[in-house]
Chain A
């Protein structure tokens, strides 16, 4: 007998090999293909944007917990790194470094830490940062430079932006979409924010997260399904005015938003049906903004609007309880 004091605690006495940090690490791993693609397509300036974004997010969170909230630092859980990566993927690679930093301040400082840090924020921090920059620095945010990376990709404005502009000048959708081919959309975008570079890389990350059971696919799938159905309905009614479903699925950051932004734990509902309603709402709002709004694409706004509804969804949709009707 060598032990002098027994440890006593209530059951359970063992724990699953999972922690906040391990979950966040999995999300980062899932983002790696998309990050690599963005580096390959957009070159060193994208590396700079990514570095500035991640570094500012992490530093800011560290500084705020240490000097303002005066509590143990939370940067160890890696959630700030994810916010940094997502913010960078949401910006054009041409964004000046100081604009990226302002985005990080809004994302971490305003959208996350003001509410009390991880777990407390209502809106997805990276998206708040992005939308803030979009309305504050529209010039930088909509100047999509041509890809400069090692791959010889097609250059031009964002597909959705081009179409909205074209429609205003009286062209028909068919003429405009014929300029893009879907293979380009899947593998290498034409211009746009870095995270839109390669839908396939993002989907690979999404599949990884689902396989690791980090996220459940319902939210993402319901977004895709809603976008496809809504655009199919409009497109079938009038193909000259409305873009087709596949085009809508592959452009404007929908894949990035649906796979990585809408599935953020903190800002999405906790139950299955809450998640499905959440996804349907995002899909529907996205299409309404795209077809009828003044912004060419609406994923960011749609997610932020639905983020606000999450507390209500959590209140309305509960688990099915055992042995109860």
Chain B
């Protein structure tokens, strides 16, 4: 009886050792020489494998970063500056801090202001819809409302607002990986600098139709009237092809354009105070008056 037990133990032990040896030899034979820093960099990454950096996952980013001489073209939007500082430390090179970005929806054509003119009966997919036609509203530039961006977001930062039919970005979750930007067939979503304490002003419309046509399709469309550009004292707004665009690097967050926009297409978010339109209009009026007087003299 005890004999059997001893034999069993002996056979299993010898078998185990033999197999371990085989495994070791195979591992040695097929060993791949690799820069150990790749592993280190990969460990410092967020590990979401989202592809927001332009590489096929965090490992691919690490491989590229180790090979690169500087990190100007290798930036992890998800980890942000903290992660990049860690990566730079591992690689022993310097990295410039970048302004944090956030996804911004450039369409405010909610169900209330942008009536549906036909009914979509195909697959609930913006890509499929965009391929077939201009969309179920009179605006052929705005959000199609099927939520391809929501499906593309790995971080749960996007959701469809059932009331407006538009996607909403949860800034605290958005990592600016850019997946939604790629998913949107209408290029409605843009990555913009998040701004100080999240404050930013942007044009929430892409309608390039002429004013009356745009206005007919959507009450809050940008009609390309150019009042914002005339108002702006920082030269931050350009109107081109019937659409205004605010250059975030020049914008001083004065919110004058927002107050002056006749359709409400310009949005300012995360400001501590609500927009006081009348006060701003007064201010602009006074300034223009002054300028006129100065010119007359």
Contacts and interface: CB of A to CB of B under 8 A. Distances in A.
Interface of A: 5-10
15 contacts: A5-B116, A5-B117, A6-B118, A6-B119, A7-B118, A7-B119, A8-B118, A8-B121, A8-B122, A8-B132, A8-B136, A9-B121, A9-B132, A10-B122, A10-B123
A10 B132 contact: yes
B119 A5 contact: yes
A5 B132 contact: no
Contacts of A7: 118-119, 121
A139 B122 CA distance: 55
Interface residues of B, number: 13
A9 B133 CA distance: 9
Nearest to A6: B118
A16 to B, nearest CB: 18
A9 B118 contact: no
A5 B122 contact: no
B128 interface: yes
A241 B15 CA distance: 44
B117 A9 contact: no
A5 B118 CA distance: 4
Contacts, number: 26
A5 B136 CA distance: 9
Residue of A6, A8, A9, A10 with highest tally of chain B CB at under 10 A: A8
B30 interface: no
A29 B121 CA distance: 34
B165 to A, nearest CB: 15
Nearest to B136: A8
Interface string B112-145: 0000111111110000100111001000000000
Contacts of B136: 8
Nearest to B134: A8
A121 B5 CA distance: 44
Contacts of B133: 8
A10 B121 CA distance: 8
A124 B119 CA distance: 41
A9 B122 contact: yes
Contacts of A10: 122-123, 128, 131-132
Contacts of B119: 5-8
Nearest to B132: A10
Contacts of A6: 118-119
B120 A8 contact: yes
Contacts of A8: 118-122, 132-133, 136
A116 B123 CA distance: 22
A9 to B, nearest CB: 4
A5 B120 CA distance: 10
A243 B121 CA distance: 60
Nearest to A8: B118
A147 B54 CA distance: 72
Contacts of B131: 10
A9 B119 CA distance: 8
Nearest to B133: A8
Interface in B62-120: 116-120
A10 B132 CA distance: 7
A9 B120 CA distance: 6
Contacts of B116: 5
Nearest to B116: A5
Contacts of B122: 8-10
A7 B118 CA distance: 6
A6 B116 CA distance: 10
A72 to B, nearest CB: 16
B133 to A, nearest CB: 6
Nearest to B128: A10
Contacts of B118: 5-8
A10 B128 CA distance: 9
A173 B117 CA distance: 79
A5 B128 CA distance: 20
Contacts of B132: 8-10
Contacts of A9: 120-122, 132
A38 to B, nearest CB: 44
Nearest to B123: A10
Nearest to B117: A5
Interface in B129-169: 131-133, 136
Nearest to A13: B121
A10 B125 CA distance: 12
Interface in B249-264: none
Nearest to B115: A5
